[in-house]
Amino acid sequence: MESLNRKIQNNKLKSAVIFGFSILVLTSILPDQGFLTAAEAQTSPEFLVSWRALNFVPSDYRGKSLPSKSSKVEIGFDVIDGNKIANLSQNNISWYLGNNQINSGVGMKTTVITIPTEMDQAVRVTIAGYKGAELDFGFLLPISKPKIVISAKTPTLTAKNQRFLPVRSNLFEARPFFFNINKLSDVTFKWQVNNELVSGEVGNPEFLTLNLESNGKPKESQFTISAAASNNNNQLEFGSKLLNFIVK
């Protein structure tokens, strides 16, 4: 009897080992046969959105051109599903700016919008009938005001938030960003030195040459330079910048 019980226990142990080994083999084989794990089966489609503002930045600027009020912005997207770009050519796609639908069409993965205000804009895209459901995605479009950057073409030193200029001829450039213009000549520039209007260079008004030697050598004198620019086609679109300097 004891021998029979021992044989039964051995058989049970062998069966358990064989069953466990079979499960291990199956879990290693099934994914290679096209079966999805629970984590893989629950992966949601992902949106890849790109946009660009159709406004003005200097040609050597390598950053992102931000839209300002009245800018036109091109927006496009793709949906990544199962590590592949989804085919949306048969789906109706709707575009919204805030709560207002601005465009809609079959396969419309790109659109152009016009920025109505100086506030960041909520953009939303909806895909109808995607695998029997509606797919929705929204994002914020950052809005900037037109800006002016004053670039000194001669070396300056900065210490304790002070800018120092040598006593010699110094060249400054006013660089406009995010204006809704096609070319630099669409902008009118104005320069001021210590709140007095001065003229930029003839033919290139975005440049100002300031000769600090003309009136002798000032000692630790302070002065301000400001530049303003306005859109010739829209006087409400303008930007300005003021810098403080110490001459040494």
- For 128-141, how does the pLDDT look when each residue is reduced to its tens digit (9 = 90+)? 999 999 999 999 99
Q: What percent of the chain has pLDDT over 90?
A: 67
Which residue ranges form the domains of the chain, and what is each CATH number?
46-141 (2.60.40), 147-247 (2.60.40.10)
C-alpha–C-alpha distance, residues 32 and 147, integer Å: 56
- pLDDT for position 38: 41
Q: Is the predicted pLDDT of residue 39 greater than 60, yes or no?
A: no
Residues 6+ apart with CB under 8 A from 4: none
Mean pLDDT over residues 157-161, rounded? Answer: 64
C-alpha–C-alpha distance, residues 204 and 192, integer Å: 16
Helix (H/G/I), strand (E/B), else coil: 19: helix
pTM of structure = 0.77
162-214, pLDDT tens digit by residue?
Answer: 788 888 888 999 999 999 999 999 999 999 999 999 999 999 999 999 888 76
Q: Is the predicted pLDDT of residue 142 greater than 70, yes or no?
A: yes
* CA atoms lying within 13 Å on the CB side of residue 219: 0
Mean pLDDT over residues 22-32, rounded? Answer: 35
8 A C-beta contact, residue 189 and residue 211:
no
